[in-house]
Chains A and B, each alone.
Chain A
């Protein structure tokens, strides 16, 4: 069986700023993701994990290597791979409902039908009652729920999530992790989830792929032997606890180095 998403030898170099040397953001990235798999991309800030996600989405082209989606090379963004952004990137001039409908509108779906489809996703992310609010009228957690519904509505193969809870407070973050665990189990989507939180990566992922910085490389990959859907009880499971500890111990030297810089 071929993988749904194949990343082959991807490297990304950014031109030098001023007199400095060019920045090697990513180097020799090889990764395969199976259909329905939830992969957490874990790494310190500046390791290029968001760059990698942008390349998978088709927002930017790698300097070397390529990304294959169902065997076809990714050259530009399309609706089979939708993205949930850290700062939501909701359209402030559209209501929650209109934001969620946008991908359906782009397909040319008639207004009545897309309203009905959008309602399903509003229910899925538990935003019922907030359909007609503008993004600035709802909380950060609700914004991200809306953004998740917007990304799911066009029925993508792969959901790409770029540190989606980075801007949220700790409690909201935990609640949304549980929501994503539930939603990904219900929709059976393939998910690539970028994060710098070890707990988050382990809680959500079937597999945690650890990246190292400068240049961004894949350092190791840990399968997470926990059943899905993940529930709050998972956080007390010995497998969960020990994997988080192992990851923390192995990452500590590099992350300490990174924060000292």
Chain B
């Protein structure tokens, strides 16, 4: 059953690649606008051989990790504080809610203005993109904690530290973790967007530079790499989630 499913998944990929290649061979696609898969393989090989692809991937990954960790930390703290205090919610809730709809890309000009060109604007844009899903889910987790479970723990004699460690954190994790997963995905999109404009390395920079050099095949290799890494990240987060929160399917 599992094998049939993964077979279908691979088949879907191969089908698209086959059609793409055939259309290119028939001359239906302008190879400059969209190079055929065979040409992409050659291009990818060259970029791997001279080490430039690794360098760019490394730069992008470092930025997304730093920005994501900062966002996760701030989002968790903000979510816990706002979630547990009515007063603080009223005080800064509307502010947070009005910042939330601004797309991270729209922060790029001001990020360059504040931080120049380099790693800092990328950190910042990843941070902006990733903090909201972490915050929103943490806030929801704190708000939705089951009062009966807390009462049960209290009447069984739980002190504050046991209550936090054994009840509040495990109760909140199944809601917080999906927020972290979404945040990492958004952060990955943001880092590439930031690098298109405000960096001298990374996959976004590589794509932009190759566009200027009219090396379309390298542009597409960059895009495919972004897709593969994003897919791998999401898979890794799901695996961590299953390990860390084996009961989460039951909770949701």
Binding site for B on A (CB under 8 A): 54, 57-59, 76-79, 81-83, 85, 87, 89-94, 102-103, 105-107, 134-136, 150-151, 154
The reply to whether A106 and B149 contact each other, CB–CB distance below 8 Å, is no
The reply to whether A106 and B155 contact each other, CB–CB distance below 8 Å, is no
Cβ of B7 under 8 Å from chain A: no
Cβ of B37 under 8 Å from chain A: no
Cβ of B44 under 8 Å from chain A: no
Given the known interface contacts A106-B157, A154-B157, the answer about A92 and B162 at a Cβ–Cβ threshold of 8 Å is no
Given the known interface contacts A105-B162, A134-B250, the answer about A89 and B157 at a Cβ–Cβ threshold of 8 Å is no
Cβ of B159 under 8 Å from chain A: yes
Q: Give the CA-CA distance A92 to B171 in the complex, in Å.
A: 8
The reply to whether A83 and B151 contact each other, CB–CB distance below 8 Å, is yes
Cβ of B16 under 8 Å from chain A: no
The reply to whether A91 and B154 contact each other, CB–CB distance below 8 Å, is no
Which residue of chain B is the closest to A58 with respect to CB atoms?
Answer: B155
Cβ of B1 under 8 Å from chain A: no
Q: How many A-B residue pairs have CB under 8 A?
A: 75
Q: Give the CA-CA distance A154 to B247 in the complex, in Å.
A: 26
Among A58, A91, A103, which residue has the most Cβ atoms of chain B within 10 A? A91
Cβ of B158 under 8 Å from chain A: yes
Size of interface on B: residues with Cβ below 8 Å to A: 23
Q: Mark B163-176, 1 if CB is under 8 A from A, else 0.
A: 00011001101000
B34: chain A residues at CB < 8 Å are: none
The reply to whether A150 and B156 contact each other, CB–CB distance below 8 Å, is yes
Given the known interface contacts A58-B155, A77-B154, A92-B251, the answer about A106 and B146 at a Cβ–Cβ threshold of 8 Å is no
List which B235-252 residues lie within 8 A (CB) of chain A: 245-247, 250-251
The reply to whether B148 and A93 contact each other, CB–CB distance below 8 Å, is no
Chain A at the B interface: SS class: loop
Ranked 7 nearest A-B pairs via Cβ: A136-B250, A79-B157, A103-B156, A89-B148, A106-B157, A93-B170, A77-B155
Chain B at the A interface: SS class: helix
B170: chain A residues at CB < 8 Å are: 91, 93
The reply to whether A89 and B149 contact each other, CB–CB distance below 8 Å, is yes
Q: Give the CA-CA distance A83 to B153 in the complex, in Å.
A: 10
A134: chain B residues at CB < 8 Å are: 246-247, 250
The reply to whether A79 and B166 contact each other, CB–CB distance below 8 Å, is no
B154: chain A residues at CB < 8 Å are: 59, 76-77
A81: chain B residues at CB < 8 Å are: 155
Binding site for A on B (CB under 8 A): 146, 148-149, 151-159, 162, 166-167, 170-171, 173, 245-247, 250-251
Across the interface, B162 reaches (CB within 8 A) one of A54, A59, A106, namely A106
Which residue of chain B is the closest to A92 with respect to CB atoms?
Answer: B247
The reply to whether B157 and A59 contact each other, CB–CB distance below 8 Å, is no
Q: Give the CA-CA distance A90 to B148 in the complex, in Å.
A: 9
A154: chain B residues at CB < 8 Å are: 156-157
Q: How far is the CB of A148 from chain B (nearest CB, A)?
A: 12
A94: chain B residues at CB < 8 Å are: 166
Q: Give the CA-CA distance A94 to B148 in the complex, in Å.
A: 16
Which residue of chain B is the closest to A82 with respect to CB atoms?
Answer: B155
Q: Give the CA-CA distance A18 to B153 in the complex, in Å.
A: 33
Q: Give the CA-CA distance A87 to B151 in the complex, in Å.
A: 12
A103: chain B residues at CB < 8 Å are: 156-157
Q: Give the CA-CA distance A105 to B170 in the complex, in Å.
A: 16
28 pairs, CB–CB < 8 Å, chain A vs chain B: A54-B151, A57-B151, A58-B155, A59-B151, A59-B154, A83-B152, A85-B148, A85-B152, A89-B146, A89-B148, A89-B149, A89-B151, A91-B152, A92-B247, A93-B173, A93-B247, A102-B156, A102-B158, A102-B166, A103-B156, A106-B156, A106-B158, A106-B159, A106-B162, A107-B157, A134-B250, A136-B247, A151-B156
B166: chain A residues at CB < 8 Å are: 91, 94, 102, 105
Q: How far is the CB of A64 from chain B (nearest CB, A)?
A: 22
A54: chain B residues at CB < 8 Å are: 151
Q: Give the CA-CA distance A89 to B152 in the complex, in Å.
A: 7
Q: Give the CA-CA distance A106 to B166 in the complex, in Å.
A: 10
Given the known interface contacts A92-B250, A106-B162, the answer about A83 and B155 at a Cβ–Cβ threshold of 8 Å is yes
